[in-house]
Amino acid sequence: NGMFNMTSTFSTDSHIPQIKAMSYHRDGRIFNKLRGEDFAAKKRKDVPVAWFASRCLTQSRREDYVKELQEHIKVDIYGKCGDKQCGSNIMRIKNDCDETLLNAQGSYKFYLSFENCLCDDYVSEKLWKIMNLNVVPVVMGGVEYSNIMPKDSFIDVRDFNSAKDLAKYISYLNNNDTAY
């Protein structure tokens, strides 16, 4: 009858999976050229972690995890869910905030790339928009990040028993430039 039924979504079960940043895949082509560069030199140590969020109540309960994380390490929160702002728009986050706060002199070492929902295979712009910046993403989501990013290029909250354990690891990296 000339009809077909195919899906094209973020799910790897789709007939045509749409994973935005396949160029960042595990082969590490983009990341390998950065090995040996001293990223810690221009980063701040006083508050190592930043989070940009405009949706404060989520299915993933990421806001609860961040609150617990803040009990053990300093986290600056930008946008509607925090007390920091970059720019003056309604979300309190301007488009160039990523570059300014995560890549410039005196910028953060770590960025919380936490998804609103924990959907299998789904990765939002929270991760992709920072991939060209000199910041380590701390990820929370339903995707298997090691399938789409090189090993040691991210920190997955699922690798830790608690937010406290994650905070200890971030503190270790924050105070050890070689490990960072």
> Could you tell me the pLDDT band of residue 20, with boundaries at 50, 70 and 90?
low
Instruction: State the average pLDDT over residues 146-170.
Output: 94
Contact 130, 109 (CB under 8 A): no
**Can you name the residues that pair with 107 across neighbouring β-strands?**
43
Contact 108, 44 (CB under 8 A): yes
Q: Which residue has the higher pLDDT, 39 or 140?
A: 140
Buried b (16+ CB within 10 A) or exposed e, 5-41: eeeeebeeeeeeeebeeeebeeebeebeeeeeeeebe
Instruction: State the average pLDDT over residues 153-175.
Output: 97
Q: pTM of the prediction? A: 0.81
> Could you tell me the pLDDT band of residue 165, with boundaries at 50, 70 and 90?
very high
Copy the structure tokens of residue 71.
């009990």
The pLDDT of residue 21: 47
Q: Which residue has the higher pLDDT, 11 or 61?
A: 61
Those residues whose C-beta lies under 8 Å from the C-beta of residue 18, and which sit 6 or more positions away, are 8, 9, 10
The pLDDT of residue 75: 98
Express each pLDDT in 83-122 by its tens digit: 998 865 544 455 678 888 888 888 999 999 999 999 888 8
- What is the overall mean pLDDT for the chain? 83
The pLDDT of residue 13: 64
Those residues whose C-beta lies under 8 Å from the C-beta of residue 86, and which sit 6 or more positions away, are 78, 92, 93, 94, 97, 100, 101
Q: Which residue has the higher pLDDT, 38 or 43?
A: 43
Q: All domains of the chain, ordered by start, with CATH?
A: 45-175 (3.40.50.11660)
The pLDDT of residue 18: 62
In this structure, which long-range contacts are made by residues 21-27, counting pairs with CB atoms below 8 Å and at least 24 apart in sequence? 21/123, 21/127, 21/128, 21/131, 21/148, 22/148, 24/131, 24/148, 24/149, 24/150, 25/147, 25/148, 25/149, 26/146, 26/147, 26/148, 26/149, 26/150, 26/151, 27/150
